[in-house]
């Protein structure tokens, strides 16, 4: 039971990295969507 802290920290780091990656991808998508003219934008991705 002494390794529970390391396990929790490991899962926390993995979760934080995945959340940061998802945020980065969404931010990149929004930036690229703003570059498109309005008529070419897909209404599903607003």
Token output for 38: 């309005």
The pLDDT of residue 22:
98
The pLDDT of residue 37:
84
Instruction: Quick: pLDDT tens for 1-46.
Output: 679 999 999 999 999 999 999 999 999 988 888 888 877 777 776 5
The pLDDT of residue 33:
82
Sort residue 31 into left (φ over 0), alpha (ψ -120 to 50) or beta: alpha
Residues 6 and 4: their CA atoms lie apart, in Å, by 5
- Provide the b/e sequence for 8-43 (b: ≥16 CB within 10 Å): eeeeeeeeeeeeeeeeeeeeeeeeeeeeeeeeeeee
Residues 46 and 33: their CA atoms lie apart, in Å, by 8
């Amino acid at each position: 039971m002494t390794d529970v802290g390391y396990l929790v920290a490991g899962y926390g780091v993995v979760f934080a990295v995945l959340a940061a990656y998802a945020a980065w991808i969404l931010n990149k998508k929004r930036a690229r969507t703003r570059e498109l003219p309005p008529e070419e934008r897909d209404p599903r991705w607003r």
